């Protein structure tokens, strides 16, 4: 019997059920992944007991000899993985990492040029609902008809608004950005360049996509998406910005760092430095492209003209007359997990938009390859072509479960 089930059978039950859910579904949410047992162990380790405000060698508490080694190793590995001059691994997650950068570099009212949410950007890039949008002035660029970021438009916006930060990066965009062009345009007005690689960090670490770190002044990321580490954030920057970034994280924004998470980040970085991780990253993209082709063949309209990374945005409303919300719900009933998403210039409301977003990082971690991608695309097509057929959805759910069980996630793990 586990300690957990003895102390708290309720939470043990819920965790067991969650483990079964993760085991039995096909997880296509592109921001999710399945970490290794080693990462899970570090996350649940004794490092959670320690207070270590400050940075390695400069702490506000005693007893940090081993914690300093852990955090220093996490930093060294991140530097090696991305060729960074300076790394802060204390950011609690992607959103706080971005907020810390804004507070490090901007004064209230300063302008940031970022990508529009409905064109693939992230809430933390200045969406009006965020607290940051009340403090700073965000202006947003969009994609053009072809699905590319229009760099001429981006340049004219930069010249017009003279932003302090030109921000690249996205959560629902499937094409490679021209990093050098961002840099050239920002340089024209002396703006700081920032890239939020939260979604694609693992594809960059695995050397399958170009690395923005040498080009941009500041790069932020999460560690739990394609990078396959614990839920957390990280900031990589040029030495010139190191002091301002570190001060902005602590004491500016956060208190004691979560050293158990930092230990798990270090483990994930070590895994990402192995040659197998490059194979993994490559397979993620191959899988996404196969899935994308297959969906296209089945009559789905893929936004941005296809995919060059791990995700795709599908306009299910114009393709099959099914809304994003309905598609998310009925695919969930069939054991296929993904999320509704706005498409560029979406005529529909945010809570029931035209699109769905899906991606391959988690199913690739499980070992699925081209044949499974084709099968999954067919299953998605069947469900969305018969949105009212609940018994079909349930029979596909059984087939999904059979497929999923061939690719166990944590064979011996139990909270019972």
Ligand X SMILES: *Cc1c(COP(=O)(O)O)cnc(C)c1O
Q: Out of 164, 225, 228, 320, pick the active-site residue.
A: 225
Q: Out of 32, 196, 217, 246, pick the active-site residue.
A: 196
Residue 222 known to be catalytic: yes
165-169 and 192-196: which strand pairing? parallel
Residue 59 known to be catalytic: no
Of 283 and 339, CB closest to ligand X: 339
* Residue corresponding to tokens 């069939």: 334
Of 172 and 291, CB closest to ligand X: 172
Token duo for residue 140:
């947003």
**Given 94, 120, 230, 361, the residue binding ligand X (CB under 6 A):** 94
- CA dist 410 and 370 (Å) reads 23
Q: Out of 8, 13, 53, 150, pick the active-site residue.
A: 53
List, in order, residues 6 or more apart from 345 with CB less than 8 Å away. 118
95 binds ligand X (CB under 6 A): yes
Residue nearest to ligand X (CB): 94
- CA dist 222 and 200 (Å) reads 9
**Given 15, 23, 28, 31, the residue binding ligand X (CB under 6 A):** 31
Residue 360 known to be catalytic: no
Residue 410 known to be catalytic: no
124 binds ligand X (CB under 6 A): yes
Token duo for residue 178:
């021209």
Q: How many residues bind to ligand X according to rule CB under 6 A?
A: 15
List, in order, residues 6 or more apart from 373 with CB less than 8 Å away. 287, 290, 291, 294, 360
Residue 414's DSSP bridge partners are none
Residue 153: its H or E element = helix 151-161
223 binds ligand X (CB under 6 A): no
Of 23 and 307, CB closest to ligand X: 307
Write the DSSP symbol of residue 108: T
116 binds ligand X (CB under 6 A): no
Distances (CA, A) of 228 to 29, 198, 279: 13, 11, 14
**Given 2, 93, 296, 333, the residue binding ligand X (CB under 6 A):** 93
Q: 160-199: which residues touch ligand X (CB under 6 A)?
A: 169-171, 196, 198-199
* Residue corresponding to tokens 């208190």: 255
**Which residues of this protein are in contact with ligand X, per CB under 6 A?**
31, 93-95, 98, 122, 124, 169-171, 196, 198-199, 222, 233
Residues identified as active-site: 51, 53, 196, 222, 225, 231
């Amino acid at each position: 019997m586990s300690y957990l089930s003895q102390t708290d059978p309720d939470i043990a039950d819920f965790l067991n059920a969650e483990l079964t859910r993760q085991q039995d579904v096909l997880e296509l949410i592109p921001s999710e992944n399945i970490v290794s047992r080693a990462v899970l162990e570090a996350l649940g380790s004794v490092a959670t007991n320690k207070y270590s405000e400050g940075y390695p060698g400069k702490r506000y508490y005693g007893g940090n000899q081993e914690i300093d080694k852990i955090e220093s190793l996490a930093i060294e590995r991140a530097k090696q993985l991305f060729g960074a001059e300076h790394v802060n691994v204390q950011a609690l997650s992607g959103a706080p990492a971005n907020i810390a950068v804004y507070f490090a570099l901007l004064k209230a009212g300063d302008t940031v040029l970022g990508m529009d949410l409905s064109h693939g950007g992230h809430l933390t890039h200045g969406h009006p609902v965020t607290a940051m949008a009340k403090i700073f002035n965000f202006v947003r660029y969009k994609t053009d008809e072809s699905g590319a970021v229009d760099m001429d438009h981006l340049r004219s916006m930069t010249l017009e608004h003279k932003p302090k930060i030109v921000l690249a990066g996205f959560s629902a965009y499937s094409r490679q950005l021209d990093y050098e062009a961002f840099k050239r345009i920002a340089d024209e007005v002396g703006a700081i360049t920032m890239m939020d690689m939260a979604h694609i960090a693992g594809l960059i670490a695995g050397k399958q996509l170009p690395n923005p770190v040498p080009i941009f002044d500041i790069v932020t990321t999460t560690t739990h998406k394609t990078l396959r580490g614990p839920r957390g954030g990280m900031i990589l920057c040029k030495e010139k910005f190191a002091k301002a970034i570190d001060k902005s994280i602590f004491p500016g924004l956060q208190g004691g760092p979560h050293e158990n998470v930092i230990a798990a980040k270090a483990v994930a970085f070590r895994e990402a430095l192995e040659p197998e991780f490059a194979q993994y990253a490559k397979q993620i993209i191959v899988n996404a492209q196969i899935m994308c082709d297959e969906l296209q063949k089945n009559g789905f309209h893929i936004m941005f003209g296809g995919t060059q990374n791990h995700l795709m945005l599908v306009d299910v409303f114009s393709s099959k007359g099914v809304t994003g919300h309905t598609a998310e719900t009925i695919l969930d009933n069939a054991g296929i997990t993904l999320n509704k998403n706005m498409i560029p210039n979406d005529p529909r409301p945010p809570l029931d938009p035209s699109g769905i977003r899906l991606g391959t990082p988690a199913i690739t971690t499980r070992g699925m390859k081209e044949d499974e991608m084709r099968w999954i695309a067919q299953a998605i097509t069947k469900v969305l072509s018969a949105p009212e057929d609940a018994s079909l959805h349930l029979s596909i759910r059984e087939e999904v479960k059979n497929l999923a069980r061939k690719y166990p996630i944590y064979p011996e793990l139990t909270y019972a």
